[in-house]
């Protein structure tokens, strides 16, 4: 981060990406399981430190320790993860396509969540107002840095 002529802090995409990664590490890694009896269609173990429902931010998906996907939601990380679960289970409507879920299903099998783990961090309007960096820019920077298979494999 730098200071401008008015002694205001100016944040770069790298600064905010580093901040998000620190938040992700602090939140930890969670096993993801489908659960048709929950509102979101999944549950995590252990429980997450806060609800992903109506929480904007960045999320990571892993197969065991293999970094598979980075995604974002400006509204609800939980909704995106719900779409992922529906796609792996081949329950999505045509308007709900989720390419990472399609790849997971193709690579690991229909309904197979063995080793499915998630990490995430919130990044809301208050963050955008403070740092001036859009969530999409942070997602793009993190994808460029980590090169998760599902983000870069176009098959």
Q: What is the pLDDT of residues 91-118, one digit of tens each?
A: 988 888 899 999 999 999 999 999 999 9
Alpha-carbon distance of 75 to 72, in angstroms, equals: 9
All structural domains of the chain, each given as residue ranges with its CATH number in brackets, are 11-152 (3.40.1440.10)
Q: What is the pLDDT of residues 111-149, one digit of tens each?
A: 999 999 999 999 999 999 999 999 999 999 999 999 999
| CB of 16 closer than 8 Å to CB of 138 | yes
Task: Report percent pLDDT > 90 for the chain.
Answer: 75
More confident residue, 14 or 97: 14
- Give the pair of three-digit tokens for residue 111: 């309904």
């Amino acid at each position: 981060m730098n200071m401008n002529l008015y002694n205001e802090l100016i944040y770069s995409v790298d600064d905010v990406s580093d901040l998000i990664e620190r938040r992700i590490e602090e939140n930890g890694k969670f096993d993801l399981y489908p659960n048709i009896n929950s509102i979101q269609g999944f549950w995590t173990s252990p429980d997450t430190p806060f609800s992903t429902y109506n929480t904007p931010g960045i999320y990571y998906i892993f197969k065991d320790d293999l970094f598979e996907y980075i995604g974002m939601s400006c509204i609800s990380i939980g909704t995106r993860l719900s779409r992922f679960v529906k796609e792996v289970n081949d329950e999505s409507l045509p308007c709900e396509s989720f390419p990472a879920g399609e790849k997971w299903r193709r690579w690991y099998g229909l309904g197979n969540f063995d080793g499915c783990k998630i990490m995430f961090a919130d990044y809301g309007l208050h963050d955008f107002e403070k740092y001036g960096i859009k969530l999409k820019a942070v997602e793009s920077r993190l994808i460029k840095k980590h090169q998760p298979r599902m983000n870069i494999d176009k098959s």
